[in-house]
Chain A
Amino acid sequence: MNIQEYISSGIVESYVLGLADEAERLEFEQMCARHAEVLAARDAFEMDLEQHAIASAVAPPASLRETILQQLAAEPVAANREVAPVVEQEKVVQMEVTSRPAIPLFMRYAAAAAIILLVASAGLNFYYFTKYREFSQAYDRLLAQQAVLAKNSAVLQTKLSTYEHTVAGLTDTNMVAIKMNGTSAPASPDRSSLATVYWDTRSKDVYLMVNNLPQPETGKQYQLWAIVDNVPVDAGMLDMANGHVMVKMKNIPRAQLFAITLEQAGGSPTPKGPMYVLGKV
């Protein structure tokens, strides 16, 4: 049989339409590989068949497109890569039964116990962690309270020592009390003003206790002056926040008069503001 006879024997159509048996198929594939004419004839019939099939196509229901494409999109990809070589029809591949070696019973119990312990341990961890957080927060609160108490205590301590000092000053026999009042001052803005200078006759330290002075306006501050031979000498600024306690002022060795004027905050080198009180030594 020559090639042309082979081609026109109907084998091309039989092969392409899937009607050839195994032997015919193998022979045809060999012929295709060896003879370009056979291959060309196969191609030509395939083209004819394809064109005919497309020409006589029947449209499936429109909804089928989405159904099918969605199913394909849901198909697993990787698992399909390893496929058996060409088979004409799908064959059922028997899954191999692989038997696992038996696990000893005590190992199973041990595993179960380990899991239970793990779960219990996780539970306890959580419980103790929660507790730890609670105590940690309570500790922080106590620490803050303690700091506040310590601060309050320090403030009270300072106040107490100031009062003790005041009392000690008042009872000290070496201390001279010089009363300064508004009426003694030439033109006191508040004639009821009263302040007392305690002057230590040995150390010459000057302490001041305000009995009654009007609250100065902001930006103003009371200043104590010692009048020495008719010259006013700065004896220190008065901080009204101290209340009725004895405040240590500057050391004044010698003075005939003490007076308080209202000056700019921070004080003046010489008195400029109004005099509130005046007292003779």
Chain B
Amino acid sequence: MAIALTYTEQELVSLLRNRDNKAYAYLYDNYASALYSIILQIVSDGELTNDVLQEVFVNIWRRIEQYDATKGRLFTWMMNIARNAAIDTLRSRSYQNSRKNQSIGENVDTIRVTDVIQPGVDTIGLRKVLEKLKEEQRILIELAYFKGYTHEEIAELEKLPLGTVKTRIRNALIQLRGLLK
């Protein structure tokens, strides 16, 4: 592992499609931490994050043919796989929890920022940037990006017109972008 191999993204994708074990090791060594961070920001549980990261790499392995370079960078594709897998895990877990105490489904309209932002993870990644946004923008990004709700679901949840939700999210994203640089 001492030898720092470098591939162009095109070479890397080609090797990943050939199921080249070294390429997957390279992928892990270079991107696992970034993906781990993204998952952790969503599930905010170390054990669960391990499981999801494993699932993400298996998904990359299985679905690498579906990666379309014209639609974006490899990392963007992997990041979205990680986000989707993390949200799916979170939902299946809260579904299991809701079976126990029937609270999520019934009290969905009482969700507050304190309920949805997990302690401890708000100092990393996008969450840290999110801190700098206004409260009303922050909760929308939280629900849309970290919880995976559709704009329609958020509109219903927050009792806001759909257009307002869309505009606020767009504005929040534009600000986020400025903060990333």
Interface residues of A (CB under 8 A from B): 8-14, 16-19, 21, 29, 32-33, 42-43, 45-50, 52-54, 56-61, 64-65, 67-69, 71-73, 75, 77, 80-81, 83-90
Cβ-based interface call for B131 (8 A): no
Q: Are B72 and A69 in contact (CB under 8 A)?
A: no
Nearest-neighbour CB distance to chain A for B175, whole angstroms, equals: 9
Query: In this complex, which of B21, B33, B40 has the most chain A Cβ atoms within 10 angstroms of its Cβ?
Result: B33
Given the known inter-chain contacts A10-B171, A56-B124, A86-B66, please indicate yes or no for A68 contacting B72, CB distance below 8 A: no
Bound-complex Cα distance A125 to B72 (A): 68
> What are 16 of the A-B contact pairs (CB < 8 Å)?
A13-B173, A13-B174, A13-B176, A17-B173, A21-B150, A46-B75, A50-B75, A53-B37, A59-B33, A60-B53, A64-B32, A68-B57, A72-B61, A80-B62, A87-B66, A90-B59
| Contact pick for B145, options A17, A71, A75, A87, CB 8 Å | A17
Assuming the contacts A10-B171, A18-B84, A58-B36, asked whether A83 and B125 have C-beta atoms less than 8 A apart, the reply is no
Interchain CA distance A52-B70 in the complex, whole Å: 22
Number of A-B contacts (CB under 8 A): 137
How far is it, in angstroms, between the C-alpha of A216 and the C-alpha of B76 when the chains are bound? 110
Indicate whether A48 sits within 8 Å of B36 (C-beta atoms), given known contacts A13-B176, A56-B128: no
Closest chain B residue, CB of each to CB of A43: B73
B37:A57 contact, CB within 8 angstroms: yes
How far does the Cβ of B86 sit from chain A's closest Cβ, in whole Å?
12
Report, as a range, how many residues of chain B touch the other chain. 35 or more
Q: Mark B32-71, 1 if CB is under 8 A from A, else 0.
A: 1110111010000010011001100111011101101011
Interface residues of B in 136-169 (CB under 8 A from A): 144-145, 150-151, 169
Contact indicator B170/A10 (Cβ below 8 Å) = yes
In the bound complex, what is the Cα–Cα distance between A241 and B47 (angstroms)?
A: 101
- Please indicate the chain A residues that have their CB under 8 angstroms from the CB of B84 in the complex: 18, 88-89
Nearest neighbor of B30 in chain A, beta-carbon distance: A54
Q: How far is the CA of A53 from the CA of B84 in the complex (A)?
A: 16
**Contact flags (1/0) for B118-138 with A, using CB distance below 8 Å?**
000000111011000000000
Chain B positions within 8 Å of A17 at CB level: 145, 173
* Alpha-carbon gap, A168 to B73, bound state (A): 120
